[in-house]
Structure 1
């Protein structure tokens, strides 16, 4: 058989095999992602033990406990379905599937780099909490961590919430989209998939109105829109980190880190430590040291803290941007996302 004819037939056979290969279609991936999101949220309202009411807040310990149980069950189901789909619709092995889900390998260096990267973005709030408000003492003795994790709200915000949400919206949903055919662009993976994450938080509007019936609709709606906005923006960042590092553990820890920090202050005055007896946070030396001098010292200190906070906030944000691509580079990446401009080496 002439070589040219042989090559042509081989190409036809190869294309036919690719067409017949049992891959995941984009429609199937989107349908599964929507089903996963519904399975994550709807159980909150199907049981009287998890459904909030005007007299039962979502922060009630009984509600948190039951919701964690329901979420754990729904996440287990979603992960089993994803693993099954990846194993039957592709040639992935067990280790490859674990890598697609971000479970393996555990790259400790990548985790530490991304935590440091996120700390740069929150350098201002870290300064405010640790220095201006004196929180570094509780950080060092571990009391803050102990008090936080001893409550059900702390357990939900920093352990159960970050792990279950990242396992669903990054590990399951993003991994499905990376296997969709035709292949989705990296920009679509980064900016489109977090919409599921943002939409999953819209139900908080209903819960807020239910537990705050006298709050006008407009402020409540604005609160929900803002929450949808920052959860979606965080989803972009978390998805970017997940794709660049291939580590579920990195995004889980970043999620907990961001939950603890909250939204950075972008206006207002930073309050300093109380000045007692002419010493920051020191013991009082008597009534003669209180009054005008103390107020003036606290005013001056507050001004200094404020200037330092906003300076650190800007410098930290700039450093975060400069280090974004360098500190997220990893050999275990799930997608080949290139920086918009060549990075200096």
Structure 2
């Protein structure tokens, strides 16, 4: 063994220890700045969709990238504005109706599933813990959570637009943070992350729209009240892999119970058929270029991120799992398999 090989061998444990320390430091920072981390991740997802859509338009039309980006942002903004302009009042009224029917829905569920004693125990236990004077605090806390969610959504959108204006600047900045000899590897890792996140998120957006439309149409055909609101809930919760579709079926079945047990059975069958169609027909078509993550890994990863970061972690559990999966594959598995580094 020559001197150079001996030095490389002796440096290997130090480099591995440094990599572990860096990952541990990043984990601590992410834990302390969890909400900011989730907002930045959401902004990155929005930026990927905007930037790649604008790039496609730029390549096909020859118009400048920034003008294409402006057109893309306006198109998305007009689409959302049109949705809420034409359907916003109906959505608001159905959401209000759902909230108003909640006691009746709970009573129907208690009747059919014999949950009366459990419901009373939960209510008494909650009153003993919370106390009568905590109602105002709960309302205030709920309002604060809504305001925080709204501010987070605005920051995601604004950050996504800023990132999409000149993504190369931010990419170069990240590369400059890496040692010179590792920049090729980091650049390759960033490319893999951006491709995986874009294809996952674009596929999820399409799936959300399809599931929302199919669920709304199915519930309307069955004569279920608040079908539009329930369909929107199903579409939004589709972003939480595997867990979201199950959670979205619960309020629909509960609402259907107010009309009778057979209505609830038909609604449950409707959700089952739609999810089977999504898994067999829709998902393979819209996510064939996405990172394939085994269902068991995805489910427990989403639950884990939910336990770590709360509701935000649950909603962003999909992209967080994609990031973790790509990092493990590129940093650990590929190197263990003997994939040569591009900078060595």
TM-score if structure 1 supplies the norm length?
0.27
Specify which structure has the bigger relative contact order, considering alpha-carbon pairs within 8 angstroms and separated by 6 or more residues. 1
Larger helix proportion of the pair: 2
